[in-house]
Amino acid sequence: MEHLENRELSWLKFNKRVIEEATDINNPLLERLSFSAIYQSNLDEFFMVRVGSLTDEEKENNKKKDSKSGMTPSQQLDSIYTAVRRLQPRVEEAFKKNMEELAPYGFEHVAFANATPEEQAFLELYFKREIKPFITGILVNDALPFPFLKNKELYAAVNIASKKGTLVGIIPVTHEHSERIIPLDKNGKRFILHEEVVLQFAHLMFKGCKIQDRAIIRVTRNADIMVNNKGADFRERMEELVVKRTKLAAVRLEISNQFSREAVDYICKKLKIGNVRVFNSNIPLDLSYLFKLQELDMSTELHFEARLPRKTAMLADNRPVFSQVKSKDIILSYPFESMTTSFIRLLEESAVDPKVTSIKITLYRLARNSKVISALCTAAENGKDVLVMIELRARFDEANNIEWSKILQKAGVKVIYGPKEFKAHSKLLLIKRRSTGDKFDYVTQVGTGNYNEKTSSLYTDLMLLTADREIAEDAEQVFDCLLNGTFVEKTNKLLVSPYALLPQILEMIDQQIEIARNGGKGYFAAKINSLNDKSIIDKLVEASQAGVKIELLVRGICCIIPKVEGYTDNITVRSIVGRFLEHSRIFIFGNDIKEQKIYIGSADFMSRNTIRRVEVAAPIEDEKLKKRIRDMFSIMMSDNVKARELQNNGRYVRVEPQKGEEPLNSQEYFYEEAYRRLEAKAVRQERMKEVRAKKSKKDK
């Protein structure tokens, strides 16, 4: 249908918006290069997960059609390959242009042929002394076994002249002592890549052989693993699966430059993939080294303006966070406000507070040196009842979470895992503290992002801290269900999937439909990462047809096309792609401020979130906080620097400032706001000091 979009193609449009940032001249040069690396990293994961999943579906049931585009798995895969190939020239052009523009700053990626004779001699010696002793060349033909090519690893491949069919040489490029960037000057800005040196001297690995052509190759493998949480040996089975994933089927072969068709066909045969899955590139196959280039020159014109998360103006330094939350609800906004001086501080204070009796938390992704883990271990060692639900199936964080679960258990923490067949993706914390006698106070935290100090400085997220007793009761129920392997069916205030989130959202949209049909101004707004849930899409179409105004901020996948006559006339969809990854989720129901309902939470509008995961969203009830969330949403919808608007033809068009309008970058605006709030707080504190000083002087 013309108002619906295929999920995979919509995601590729998102990644197209990422590569557009690599060509935006308003972004500093080194930051532009980073967007090229992000684009490639995103695409790697897309092939590993989504293409891997579609490949499995193609084998199992190729007649099953996508509900939004009507395409079979094979047709979706063909469309994906076409879209990726169409984007490749833009990706290559952006990379080459940015590298050229960095030349005046001393940066030069040197091709071996363009190196000076002295540099070439140095590189040959470097290869013989620092590379060749640590790598092995492998000859392969039908009589010799084909080596296992690791996921996303670089290999030098050579086509060798042979009278007995195809003969290919494979050289693993990297080893434990290798450095990707080989500097050719003192500061490292003039450089050549490790794999390029290996490729140049590949003939030295196969003496007596005539090499006809050579290329760097890279294989992407299926990473779509899933195991149900059944039995006490769940963690052991997850450890086995993490290892198994590295050996799953290949789904893509990348080749640098041009390579012999005969040799490509042979490698494809050994990898058991069709030529349609072969992608050529005229730039390095792994752009992750671009992040290291950022460290080689700290010139301000090459980087975004330095920004550091500020202390939140909502918390005082001289009182425990728990007692402050008892007095009022608090909203924290990342990366503009600091996680360390707010949420981590709450955990660390609670870990040593003798009156705190229990801490319960859900963990999905964590920083490498996690202060969250440290605080939880301290709490357990201090005799508190600490319950941690850690999701071992968090994709690509499985190994980290397995290790964290062991560390927590050693410290005396009670560790549980997500329910059977469902991931627990919620961001939920409940702290119980003795008040007077047998009475207890509670602080509940509900967030949109992970408890990860690193990503909290890179992702935009929101976090609610509240002492609301009904929310605490709901949170307690969530943890009881996680402990017992059941699901919350009814709540006081929280929205909790899989049973008590989607029905409530649909019901609240229905209320707006009823308002619009009765001549009122129905309104619904959402800021989410993705939208593909069929029931929500159908309800949004119904609401639009009834006259409800709908505003959607969708960073990535959006399977609804707005402004399609008769279906989505009243729907506006915008996407913000900028310096920070938009990650917060906000739901707003109603135009009347007095009756308006606002929620923040962990759930996107995807079926995996609404019906196949444990997600939690919390109401924002404090009027000042509601206004703050409304204002934030309004600012983001008014962004005319980093926002794109989805058109009824399925294309995203960058929003430009209109005549007389000032440029508005919402992310920069929120950082400035965080600075202003803190400055205003300091001014208020200084005035209070003066007032107290005058009063003290007068009393004397």
Phi, psi of 340 (to 5 degrees): -65, -40
Structure tokens at 433: 């503290």
| CB-based burial label for 150 (10 Å; 0-12, 13-18, 19+) | middle
Distance CA 213, CA 80 (A): 30
Distance CA 638, CA 499 (A): 35
Collapsed DSSP state (helix, strand, coil) of residue 220 = strand
Cβ neighbors of 539 (< 8 A, separation 6 or more) are 506, 509, 510
Structure tokens at 332: 């924290």
Residues constituting the chain: 700
Distance CA 585, CA 464 (A): 12
Number of H helices, E strands in the chain: 19, 28
| CB-based burial label for 264 (10 Å; 0-12, 13-18, 19+) | buried
Find out whether 559 and 10 touch, Cβ atoms under 8 Å. Answer: yes
Structure tokens at 230: 């059944």
Structure tokens at 282: 């005229």
State yes or no: cis peptide before 498, omega within 30 of 0: yes
Catalytic residue among 3, 109, 194, 425: 425
Q: ∠563-567-571 over CA atoms, to 5°?
A: 40
Query: Nearest to residue 462, comparing CAs of 289, 670, 634, 288?
Result: 670
Tell me, letter by letter, the H, E, C secondary structure of 91-135.
HHHHHHHHHHHCHHHCCEECCHHHCCHHHHHHHHHHHHHHHHHHC
CB atoms within 10 A of CB 70: 11
Find out whether 216 and 256 touch, Cβ atoms under 8 Å. Answer: yes
Q: Which residues, listed in sequence order, are joined to residue 310 by a DSSP beta bridge?
A: 337
Tell me, letter by letter, the H, E, C secondary structure of 527-582.
EECCECCHHHHHHHHHHHHHCCEEEEEECCCECECCCCCCCCCCEEEEEECCCCEE
Active site residue 303: no
Distance CA 554, CA 528 (A): 5
Query: Nearest to residue 209, comparing CAs of 248, 163, 177?
Result: 163
- The continuous run of DSSP H or E covering 445 comes out as strand 440-447
Distance CA 109, CA 296 (A): 13
Find out whether 575 and 643 touch, Cβ atoms under 8 Å. Answer: yes
> Catalytic residue positions?
425
